[in-house]
Amino acid sequence: MEVIADLQIHSKYARATSKNISIENLEKWARIKGLDLLGVGDFQHPLRRKEIDEKLTEDEHGILRTSSNSGVAFLWQTEVSLMYSQDGKRRAVHLLVFAPNTNIANKITEFLGSKGRLDYDGRPIFGMSAVELVRELKKIDDKIEIIPAHCMTPWFGLFGSKSGFDSLKDCFQDETDKIYAIESGMSADPAMLWRLEEVAGGKVNVVSFSDAHSFWPWRMGREATIFGIPELTYENIIKAIRTGIGLKATIETPPEYGKYHWDGHRNCDFSCGPEKTRELNGICPVCKKPMIIGVEYRIDEIAKYPLGFEAKNSRIYYKLLPLHEVIALATGNGMNTTKVWSVYNSLIMEFGNEFNLLLKVPKEKIAKFSDEKLADLILKNREGKIKVKPGYDGEYGVAQIGEKQVTL
């Protein structure tokens, strides 16, 4: 069976998230998006846990569902932020944590609670090292999975310019062999990560999830992983992540769409690509201070292999802008406007869900139902041909159309 999964979700109890991220809304919009499996998000937070216990029922395979039989399932997932000092240097990394069942989720919560408060933020911050976290969680159960999130972003990505790490070994040391995958994040795609030694050598696989802070379809599922497994079980999902068998493909936004692809300062309204950054010696020409170095520059800095290198465990990936973004381009309206919603809703009613439309429906059927311009843009999106002005320093990239499209 094919399972499209977004396993990096937050609850309303995490900072900077929508206050309407309920189980019901996640389930509803996952169906509309075309997602089959979601992470529950922030399971260690006491109020989120109460919601999970009240609204979801776990089966014998560690999969949770509501009573609606909607076809959307959940698994135990959270994200933690580690900030600490190692060898006199600042270290920071965000890690995804997955649990095989309620009992192990309880033990993880107990361990995390022994290290700090769990009630102030859905993504809690701890001063322990990544090494300690992995070691202690694996003592609880080897089926617990730990994946570095948005691995290239500057501040908390494992390979980011401000994280303090240049490799998996730097971060996880003697626990490195317990890390089986890295999550690409919006500002990077698998082709960029194939250039890294650990990925090129097949030591880790690449997965992709959204880091959704709301349930809207231009957030949830904007990045996802497609599994091909015999049955939906926690064990089968984790086996695919660890071995690559059953890991079919990832869905990525174009990396330029991410908030940290290029270098610059948003307060100075200045951004540039790696070549210009090198000319400027990394100094912002507006404020004369060091720029925030983005993913494209950083990958050049730490990659072992040249652009275009393909890892031996490489897999298909799709570069897709969310459907709202494509409709907004076609109509000239904002993504959250009545016009765009009207077009979006009619397309979903006709074609079932967003991923079906973005990946499978022939252009002729789309054009017959809507118009040639929108159909053409959906096909260009499917082929990764919509140009995006790169995001930087916390600003999303901007999709462009026609003569506005830039050469990157």
The pTM of this model reads 0.96
- Three-state secondary-structure class, residue 85: strand
Cβ atoms < 10 Å from Cβ of 320: 26
Q: Name the CATH topology of 2-149+209-252.
A: TIM Barrel (3.20.20)
Domain spans, the chain: 2-149+209-252, 322-383
Regarding beta strands 89-99 and 73-86, do their DSSP bridges make them parallel or antiparallel, or are they unpaired?
antiparallel
The helix (H) or strand (E) run that includes residue 277 is helix 274-279
pLDDT tens for the chain, 408 residues long, are 999 999 999 999 999 999 999 999 999 999 999 999 999 999 999 999 999 999 999 999 999 999 998 999 999 999 999 999 999 999 999 999 999 999 999 999 999 999 999 999 999 999 999 999 999 999 999 999 999 999 999 999 999 999 999 999 999 999 999 999 999 999 999 999 999 999 999 999 999 999 999 999 999 999 999 999 999 999 999 999 999 999 999 999 999 999 999 999 999 999 999 999 999 999 999 999 999 999 999 999 999 999 999 998 899 999 999 999 999 999 999 999 999 999 999 999 999 999 999 999 999 999 999 989 999 999 999 999 999 999 999 999 999 986 444 433
CA distance between the termini of the chain? 38
